[in-house]
Amino acid sequence: MLLAKKDAPGRLAALAPIAIVDIGSNSVRLVAYEGLSRSPTPIFNDKVLCGLGRGVATTGRLPQDGVDRALSALRRFRVLCEAMQITDIHVLATAAARDAVNGPDFLAAAQEALGAPIELLSGPREAHLSAMGVISGFWKPDGMAGDLGGGSLELNEVTGSKLGQGITLPLGGLSLMDVSARSPRKAAKIARDALAGAKQLKKLEGRTFYAIGGTWRALARLHMRQRNYPLNVMHHYVIPARDAADFAALVERVNADTLISIGAVPSARRPLLAYGAVVLEEIIRQAKPKEVVVSALGVREGLLFERLDAASRKADPLLVAARELNILRSRAPQHGEELCGWTDAFLRSTHLSETPDEKRLRHAACLLTDIGWRAHPDYRGEQSLNIIAHAAFIGVDHPGRAFLALAASYRHMGPDEDVSPQIRTLATARMLDRAHVLGACMRLAYVITAAMPGVLPRVPLTCVKEKLVLTLPPDLGPLANERVNGRLKQLARLIGREPSIKVK
């Protein structure tokens, strides 16, 4: 029986969609999410660069053309939310509306245009939500969240799930461009003086600076393109601090249009690159972090995270996302859950050590093992790799993504295939070895179970001295054929054991 056209089995039925409209100093953005989740998945994301904060620092007023563009965008967003049948809409306004004398009039018009109440964020509130976005997007973060908008910069220390005391500084790109009369050199002095009084920065030395905001993401994208980086995913992109400072200095002194791959940056954002670079370089110079890590999550996701109950906040966002994708795309989701336990027991019996982070990656890989089954058999490995490497996952760094993608690919293609040399460059030698071993485990599990639940708990796989033993109960004895034996040999070779099948 065919599904009705109105059905959407590709979405999680238990979730109700939610939308956040972010009225920022440079852009006005609508992000609609599948629902309130520990791993929020956008179903629609659009922005309009309105430049509301342009001139506010010098004139004290929102520019009329920016106001008109913003109101037009909000009326459009209202229609889109109606089309998506979203009634849970949260609207946030930040520095430009907060600082301008005509901000109250604009907010009244904006509320009428959108048909939803607007929360005007104070500076500390904005810093709090930005840091909550980092807690949401990273697994056990440690450092400082920095959110650079058009009108202001928010800073807040983040240690695990704990926040420091956030501050806001008038160092947004549009603000700096205005007060410096479009002089990056003058902007550098303004930033230097403002940041010198930020006591919070003294806690950043040797830790991670989490960079939030469109201008910093644009800088990171240019850096990524200049390196010919193999993974086009911004979230958790890491730049060593010295490299980030050197690149920022380059952007400050040259015409943005001459930079390699500048076409990846919208023309309306290019004038702000130098001012974002000024602030980033000064933060690195004064605070001496070990690295700059890009965060695609900020105020909006911080608000969603704030709304979760305590138990949901503590959940691992990577495993939540893997379970959701397992439910949506696997033949039998319970098989992935059983694979986690089956490989747990297998690894405990081996000489292979495993850190807690390696265990969570292995579990995520087990949950994702069957998401490519609808593809042609010759392309399941390639499709699985592409889906996983570029998925909207949070709570995982790029080497971790590479491990997940490679393990899924090896599950379909075998350990001897030349799988994605580009993605392999992101993984360590240890990760590559573990991806091969786990892929071989999953290949063996598939020919025993046909990816169905209920079998793996009955067929333990263990190392006993120098042997790798697969034990089958009598009723499953007929599974012990050449295909199973061949897969068992592949795995045994990878861990230096002799294969053995026992029926008892």
Tokens representing 415? 């350990």
Which class is 18-120 in CATH? Answer: alpha beta
Of the candidates 434, 408, 291, which has an alpha carbon nearest to the alpha carbon of residue 354?
434
With contact defined as beta carbons under 8 Å apart, do 26 and 52 qualify?
yes
Residue 1 is predicted with a pLDDT of: 46
Residue 4 is predicted with a pLDDT of: 53
With contact defined as beta carbons under 8 Å apart, do 113 and 80 qualify?
no
What is the C-alpha to C-alpha distance for residues 305 and 424, in angstroms, rounded to an integer? 33
With contact defined as beta carbons under 8 Å apart, do 302 and 136 qualify?
yes
DSSP 58-80: HHSS--HHHHHHHHHHHHHHHHH
In 197-315, alpha helices (H) = 214-226, 241-253, 270-287, 299-307, 310-314
Sign of the dihedral through C-alpha 206, 208, 213, 214: positive
- Across the 504 residues of the chain, what is the mean pLDDT of every consecutive 10-residue run? 56 88 96 96 95 93 96 98 96 94 97 97 96 97 97 96 94 95 95 94 96 96 93 96 96 82 82 95 97 97 96 97 95 97 97 96 97 93 94 96 96 81 94 96 96 97 96 96 95 96 93
Domain 124-301 sits in CATH at 3.30.420.150
pTM for the full predicted model: 0.94
What is the C-alpha to C-alpha distance for residues 24 and 292, in angstroms, rounded to an integer? 23
Task: Give the domain ranges of the chain.
Answer: 18-120, 124-301, 317-503
Residue 7 is predicted with a pLDDT of: 57
Residue 477 is predicted with a pLDDT of: 95
Domain 317-503 sits in CATH at 1.10.3210.10
What is the C-alpha to C-alpha distance for residues 362 and 318, in angstroms, rounded to an integer? 11
With contact defined as beta carbons under 8 Å apart, do 19 and 32 qualify?
yes
In 8-122, alpha helices (H) = 56-59, 64-83, 95-99, 103-114
Tokens representing 154? 């928010």
What is the C-alpha to C-alpha distance for residues 14 and 327, in angstroms, rounded to an integer? 12
Q: Give the chain's radius of gyration (CA, Å).
A: 25
Neighbours of 67 (CB within 10 A): 20
Q: Spell 205-216 as b/e; 16+ CB within 10 A means b.
A: eebbbbbbbbbb
